[in-house]
Structure 1
Amino acid sequence: MTGSILRRAPGAAWRYLRAAPGTFVWLAVLLATTRLVHHFPPGFRDRFLEHRSTNVHNLWRTPVRVLVASALYLDGGGWPLYFVLYNLFHVPVERWLGTWRWLGVAAVAHVGATYLSEGLVLLAVRTGYAPHSALFTRDIGVSYALAGVQGALTHRLPRPWRYGYLACLLGVYGFALAADRTFTGVGHLTAALLGLACVPAARWSARRYGTRRPRSDDRTAAG
């Protein structure tokens, strides 16, 4: 039996990877960039990441470049943790919605939460509640996209589990914001809400235009 399992394992692993190609390509890119940045001297590493940060200054000058670049790096590493989180959240959502709709949800959460949170930073600077240096605060990573996908996953869960999951999700991000009132706390909560709101539109698109529709068990789970 052990030999049979070992023979089937490569095929099962390949089917698992192929069912969510976008997630694993993204993870591969993050692994490569994390290893690359790890070998930079500390001073150069800071300048390198600041150049790819979605702070107010960079969003004003090169918005598209930094919005894309910031989603390709992990500030401070932690790739093994994100490998686990991507498998828990990104993989099921990509398999459910399809790669392009999953990517759309992640992009809406990433871009929307970034602009809202950094807009609050700009407002705080202009009204004197934050120093001018806040316009250059480093903001880089994939956590907004992850929070958006976590919000989207709510619609994939059957009742009544979805309500408990949603309460936990919003409770975690809401508590984090209340405990430490920073722009990233605003961004994470906003991203989760954006992901939650995106799925009805994505499901309508799948039914109306998509070539890959949710399976019958997916429709039942989504309610």
Structure 2
Amino acid sequence: MRWPAVLLRLKVTIAYSVLAATAAILVGHLGPHAQWHVLLRASTNLRNLGDGHVGTLVASAFLTDGEPNWVWLGAVALLFAVAEWISGSTRFLLAFAAGHVGATVLVAAGLFVGIHADWLEDSLAVAVDVGVSYAAAAVAGSLIRYLRGPWRVLWAGGWLALVGASAIADPSFTAFGHATALCIGLTLGGYFLHHDAKALRDRYIADAATESVHPTSAMTSL
């Protein structure tokens, strides 16, 4: 396969990786106060979402809190490349968006209830919450569609154990978000599996019906 075809097949991953790396470099060159201000404005915290700043749902996915972690960004880029390569750009984007937006909205709803019920601190409403980890969790979960038999159980169980252990070690709203995003991804993977199986079954039935209506030449010559 030629390089242009490879680049076209990974176009979403490449575009995201370039934009995320550029954002990391630019934000990294800012002073501490300016950096904090940018991250706060782009955060998907309860205050921003409540004020109608829905653009943060997009901007937050390209930023990281603190110093850029290039190992993490590289691992995410690799995960995204594998997912887009085997599932296609449309399904990859669907898993990305569903995980990032869906988990963010559910986390915000949980914070809203918790803060107004005095279960959580008011300061969480303005916490800095940026990053692509929710999307990455959902994309990882959606890959269950492309595994077979017991590997699906191992894949799902491994990721659930990982996010569960992280939640126990650091019980926070982001841990809940990662678990939620993973469940969204696993649900999407199950839907993809059902959808593809149904499409294959319908095609088999259609082919069988066509053959019964139009018998082969060997049969008609008898």
TM-score (norm 1): 0.81
Number of matched residues? 197
CA shift in 2, pair 1:202/1:154, >3 Å:
closer
Q: Find the aligned partners of 1:129 and 1:137 in 2 and give their Cα distance.
A: 16
Kindly state the Cα deviation for residue 121 of structure 1 after the two structures are TM-superposed: 1.4
Aligned equivalent of 1:136, options 123, 126, 135: 126
Q: Find the aligned partners of 2:115 and 2:95 in 1 and give their Cα distance.
A: 30
Kindly state the Cα deviation for residue 98 of structure 1 after the two structures are TM-superposed: 1.6
CA contact (8 A) 2:145 2:192 kept: no
Q: Percent identity?
A: 30
Q: Find the aligned partners of 2:31 and 2:179 in 1 and give their Cα distance.
A: 34
Mapped pair 1:149 → 2:105: no
CA shift in 2, pair 1:18/1:178, >3 Å:
same
Mapped pair 1:33 → 2:23: yes
- Which one-letter code corresponds to 1:124 in the other structure? G
Q: Find the aligned partners of 2:63 and 2:171 in 1 and give their Cα distance.
A: 24
Q: Give 3-state SS (helix, strand or coil) of 1:164's partner.
A: helix
Q: Whose Rg is larger?
A: 2
- 2:96 match: 106
Q: Deviations over 1:153-176 (max 9, x none)?
A: 122122222211211100000111
Q: Find the aligned partners of 1:121 and 1:75 in 2 and give their Cα distance.
A: 20
Mapped pair 1:80 → 2:71: yes
Kindly state the Cα deviation for residue 80 of structure 1 after the two structures are TM-superposed: 3.4
Q: Find the aligned partners of 1:165 and 1:202 in 2 and give their Cα distance.
A: 16
Mapped pair 1:67 → 2:57: yes
Kindly state the Cα deviation for residue 36 of structure 1 after the two structures are TM-superposed: 0.3
CA contact (8 A) 1:174 1:189 kept: yes
Deviation larger for 13-22 or 188-197: 13-22
Q: Deviations over 1:150-200 (max 9, x none)?
A: 101122122222211211100000111122221000000100110111134
- Which one-letter code corresponds to 2:15 in the other structure? V
Mapped pair 1:182 → 2:168: no
TM-score (norm 2): 0.81
Unaligned runs of 5+ in 1: 1-10, 209-223
Q: Find the aligned partners of 1:161 and 1:38 in 2 and give their Cα distance.
A: 40
- 1:196 match: 186
What do you get for the CA RMSD once the two structures are aligned? 2.0
Q: Find the aligned partners of 2:22 and 2:197 in 1 and give their Cα distance.
A: 33
CA shift in 2, pair 1:105/1:206, >3 Å:
farther
- 1:119 match: 109
